[in-house]
Chain A
Amino acid sequence: MVNLANYKDLVIGDRVIKPGSSEEFKTGDWRSMLPVIDLDKCIDCLTCWIYCPDDCILVKDDKVVGIKKTHCKGCGICAKACPKKAITMVEGEE
C-alpha cells in the first residue's frame, strides 16, 4: 500500500505501473445502500452478475451466494436488472 504521508512513495507523473490496482481501491467506502438478495426468489440467471459494474455479485458453482461488500458501491443496478425482483436495496452499511 502507498504511504500517504510521503510524496516520494507516489509513482512520478500520476501513473499506475502495476496492474490490478483497482482491487485496492475500496469502492465499498462510498456505499449508503446495500443490495440484499432473496435467494428463494433468485433463479440464478446471473443477470445481476453481468450488470454489476464492480464485479460484486459473488457466484459459486453457477449460483449467486452473496455480495462483495468491500467493493459494492450500492448503485442499485443489480436490483434494477434482476428479472425476478429478488434484490432489494436497503439503507445502511449492512
Chain B
Amino acid sequence: MTPAKHSDIAINGDCAVALAWRQIDPDVCAAYPITPQTIIVEKFAEYIANGEVKTEFVCVESEHSALTLCVTACSAGARTFTATASQGMAYMWEVLPIAASMRVPIIMAVANRAVSGPININNDHGDVMSARDTGWMSLFAENVQQAYDLSIIAPRIAEHHEVQLPCLMNLDGFILTHAIERMTPLDTHAVKKFVGEFKPLYPLLDVEHPVSHNLMDGPLFYFPHKYQTVKAMDKALEVTKQVFKEFQQISGREYNLVEEYMCDDASCIAIVLGSSFGTMKEAVDQLRREGMHVGVAMPRLYRPWPISDLAKVMKGKKSVIVMDRHLSIGSYGPMFPEVVAAALENEGEMPKMYNYIYGLGGADTMVSDFVSVYKDVKEGKAKRINYLGVRE
C-alpha cells in the first residue's frame, strides 16, 4: 500500500502528542500539569472543551492521584492516557509498579526532565531511568515526528493481549516538547483504524463476569506474577517489531528496535537515547568526512531492552561508547552496564567499552562535543567513565 499524502505542519513536541491523542480519542485522561509536559494536557483540554474528543478528562490534585485514577479507569475497561515529567513522575512512583503488576496498558507521555535536586527544569533522563525497574515499557522519540508516531504506536503494543503492560513514551523536555519542527501527520481516520478498539482483559465494569483486581500475593504468588510480567516484556519485543511494520505500511516511516546510523562498516559506534541521536548523526557525518569509521545507534526501547539487536549492532566493533543522560550516583551511567551485558551475547568478542555521562540538567551538548567524544576514544584519552563538560 502506498502511504497517502498529507501536508506537513509546524508543531512542537507537546502539541504533536496532544494531536495524536486527539486522533485516538482515548476514553479517559487524568494529568496534573508539570513543566515541560504542561502543553500536552493544556492542548488536549482545549480539544475536549471544543468537543473535538469525547475523552473524560479528570482534573486531579496531584500526579499520585492522576496515575491512581488512570490505573482504576484502565482496570474498569477504559483506554487511558496521561503525561508527566520529573518530580511528577517521582510523585507517581508508588503507583508505577502497581500499574505494571495489574497489567493495565496505560499510555504515559514523559517530557523528560532532570529530577531535583538541585532544582532544575531542563532535560535529562533522570525521571524515566528511575522508573526502569517498575515494569513499564519505555519508548524513546528522537524528534517531534517520532513523538507523534510513537504516541500512535504505543497503545497498539501496550494493549496487545499477550503484552498488557503500561508504556512510557519519552520525548526530551524543551528540546522536543517546546521546539517547533516540521511534521507529517496521518489523517484521523487512518489513526483510528490503526489503533483500533480497546479490548480490555477482565474489565471491572463487565458486571456479567465479576472480578477482583490488585489482590495481595503471598510469597508463593508474588514471584510467579512478577515472572509473568517478565514474559510479557519478552513478548513485547516481538509485538513491537510487528506493530512497527504495520505502522510503516500506513505512514511510510520505518522504525526498528535499534536504529542505526553508519554502523555497518564502523569500527567505533556510540549508543545514545532520544534527541541526541540526531546531534550525534551530525557528528558522525563530520567525522566520516575526516575519514573516521564511526557510527551511532539508538535503542528505540529502553524496556524491554532489545538485547539481541544491540548485540548485533556491536558485533565486530573495536569500541563502543555508551552515552548516558543520567547518573546512577556511585556507579556507571544506567545504560552502560546494560550495553556491556548485551555485548556479552557476542561470546568471546568484547569491544572496548566507554561510558560518557552528558547533558545533565539540560547542559548543552553540541555536535562539537560529540565529535570530541569519538576523537578522545580514538586517541586513547577516554577513561572508562567520563563526565562530558565537567572540569575536574
Residues of A within 8 A of B (CB): 4, 6-8, 10-17, 19
Contacts and interface: CB of A to CB of B under 8 A. Distances in A.
Contacts of A13: 101-104, 164, 201-202, 213
A15 B202 contact: yes
Point out which of B103, B209, B220 has the most chain A C-beta atoms below 10 A from its C-beta: B103
Nearest to B201: A12
Nearest to A16: B212
Interface stretch (B111-119, B123-131, B225-233, B371-379): B225-233
A89 B213 CA distance: 35
Interface residues of B, number: 22
B225 A14 contact: yes
A19 B215 CA distance: 13
A20 to B, nearest CB: 11
B389 interface: no
Contacts of B103: 12-14
A7 B202 CA distance: 18
Nearest to B204: A15
B214 to A, nearest CB: 6
Contacts of B220: 4
Interface of B: 101-104, 164, 201-202, 209-215, 217, 220-221, 224-225, 227-228, 231
A7 B210 contact: no
Nearest to A17: B211
Given A4-B220, A17-B202, A12 B228 contact: yes
Contact of B209 (A4, A6, A14, A17): A17
B224 A4 contact: yes
Contact of A19 (B210, B214, B217, B231): B210
Interface pairs A-B: 3 shortest CB-CB? A13-B103, A7-B224, A16-B212
A11 B214 CA distance: 11
A19 to B, nearest CB: 6
Contact of B211 (A7, A8, A16): A16
Given A12-B164, A13-B104, A14-B101, A7 B215 contact: no
Nearest to A6: B224
A15 B225 CA distance: 10
Given A12-B103, A12-B228, A13-B104, 6 more contacts: A6-B224, A10-B224, A14-B214, A15-B212, A15-B213, A16-B215
A8 B228 CA distance: 7
Contacts of A15: 102, 202, 211-215
Nearest to A7: B224
Contacts of A4: 220-221, 224
A14 B213 contact: yes
A32 to B, nearest CB: 18
18 contacts: A4-B220, A4-B221, A4-B224, A7-B224, A7-B225, A7-B228, A8-B228, A10-B221, A13-B101, A14-B101, A14-B102, A14-B103, A15-B202, A15-B213, A15-B214, A16-B211, A16-B212, A19-B210
